[in-house]
């Protein structure tokens, strides 16, 4: 972690987890071993992430009402077998993926780590993932016992989240291959799988999922507006993040058990039912170039199967896809 993010985290902890609602900037700086200027810069970063705080002219930092995910309630109400038997919560981290990686040796299969904000959230294909207050930023540690490829599992977990979002909000939630969750053609959630191998054997899998829940569009970086959305924006009201997180963990647990029980073909049927990419003309961008064709199917390993204009049928395992039009 960089010193900047450590300072931001330390300052966020003092303001939002401490007993005092107000604290002088100088006091905050000395508590966190920073200069007042460094502390002020950190406050500015936290504000950009949506933390409700005010710095008065007199140099007093004030915490405004803030409602984090209620992790005690989440734990108390959870009824899962594997996922979420241990749940860790943090306020501000670099990335929940890295934070969970720190625990991976001692933590059991299914451990979940949630954070209110991420300073350097990661997306697929080395992109960054903007993670302000109001989202669900979650990583799940899996210690695999299965011998097969895990691509279907990730798609199945994305499908599980799509079902929860659809049921809880009644918004039309679909999957854009490989694993973007879309509402009205805009991205509302994304999934990231980071695997570690021992030789050829898959040893650890950390699955990250990010859901834009209660986030105002004006908070999103300009480049993301038009491409991304949030559930609160689509619904016109905020939703209970604690309940949504609980339902996600429960549905992910169900799909994980189905996967372990070898029910990959049922999971695949569900994925195909939710996958809005199928039947569309798509542009697929890979390291070898861009291809246009018709998305026909999702294969048994989660690959997208595309018919090229010359009739050739190609499978794509990792790629970025744009929907060109409905066929
Ligand atoms: C994508 O669509 O590109 C994947 C986005 C994954 C974001 C989540 S948020 C929680 C976890 N921690 C991260 O740094 N990334 C994932």
pLDDT at 1 (0 to 100): 46
Q: Is residue 73 within 8 Å of residue 86, measured between CB atoms?
A: no
pLDDT at 3 (0 to 100): 61
> Separation of 244 CA from ligand 1 center, angstroms?
17
Does residue 123 line the site of ligand 1, with CB under 6 A? yes
> Separation of 115 CA from ligand 1 center, angstroms?
12
Q: What is the pTM of this model?
A: 0.95
pLDDT at 50 (0 to 100): 96
Report which ligand 1 atom has the smallest distance to the Cα of 135. 9
Tokens of 222: 């300009």
Q: Is residue 225 within 8 Å of residue 54, measured between CB atoms?
A: no
pLDDT at 146 (0 to 100): 72
Tokens of 178: 């490989």
Q: Is residue 117 within 8 Å of residue 51, measured between CB atoms?
A: yes
User: What are the per-10-residue average pLDDT scores of the chain (327 residues)?
Assistant: 77 96 97 96 96 96 96 94 95 97 96 97 93 98 80 94 97 95 97 90 93 94 89 97 98 94 93 96 92 95 95 92 84
Burial label, 75 (beta-carbon count in 10 A; 0-12, 13-18, 19+): middle
pLDDT at 147 (0 to 100): 63
């Amino acid at each position: 972690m960089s010193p900047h993010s450590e300072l931001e985290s330390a300052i966020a902890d003092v303001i939002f987890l401490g007993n005092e609602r107000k604290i002088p900037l100088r006091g905050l700086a000395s508590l966190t071993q920073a200069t007042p200027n460094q502390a002020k810069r950190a406050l500015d970063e936290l504000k950009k992430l949506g933390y409700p705080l005010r710095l008065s002219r007199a140099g007093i930092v004030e915490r405004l009402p803030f409602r984090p995910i209620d992790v005690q309630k989440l734990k108390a109400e959870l009824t899962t077998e594997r996922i979420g038997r241990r749940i860790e919560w943090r306020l501000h981290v670099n990335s929940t993926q890295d934070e969970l990686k720190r625990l991976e040796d001692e933590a059991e299969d299914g451990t979940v780590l949630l954070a209110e904000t991420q300073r350097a959230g990661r997306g697929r294909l080395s992109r960054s993932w903007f993670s302000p207050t109001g989202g669900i930023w979650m990583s799940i540690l899996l210690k695999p016992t299965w011998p097969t490829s895990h691509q279907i599992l990730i798609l199945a977990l994305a499908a599980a989240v799509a079902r929860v979002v659809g049921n809880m909000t009644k918004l039309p939630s679909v999957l854009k291959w490989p694993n973007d969750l879309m509402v009205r053609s805009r991205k509302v959630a994304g999934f990231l799988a980071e695997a570690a191998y021992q030789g050829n054997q898959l040893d650890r899998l950390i699955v990250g999922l990010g859901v834009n829940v209660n986030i105002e569009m004006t908070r999103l970086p300009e480049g993301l507006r038009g491409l991304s959305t949030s559930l609160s924006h689509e619904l016109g009201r905020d939703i209970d993040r604690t309940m949504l997180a609980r339902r996600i963990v429960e549905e992910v647990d169900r799909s994980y058990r189905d996967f372990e029980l070898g029910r990959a073909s049922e999971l695949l049927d569900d994925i195909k039912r939710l996958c809005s990419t199928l039947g569309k003309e798509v542009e697929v961008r890979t390291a070898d170039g861009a291809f246009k064709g018709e998305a026909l199917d999702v294969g048994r390993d989660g690959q997208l199967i595309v018919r090229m204009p010359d009739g050739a049928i190609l499978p794509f395992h990792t790629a970025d896809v744009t929907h060109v039009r409905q066929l």
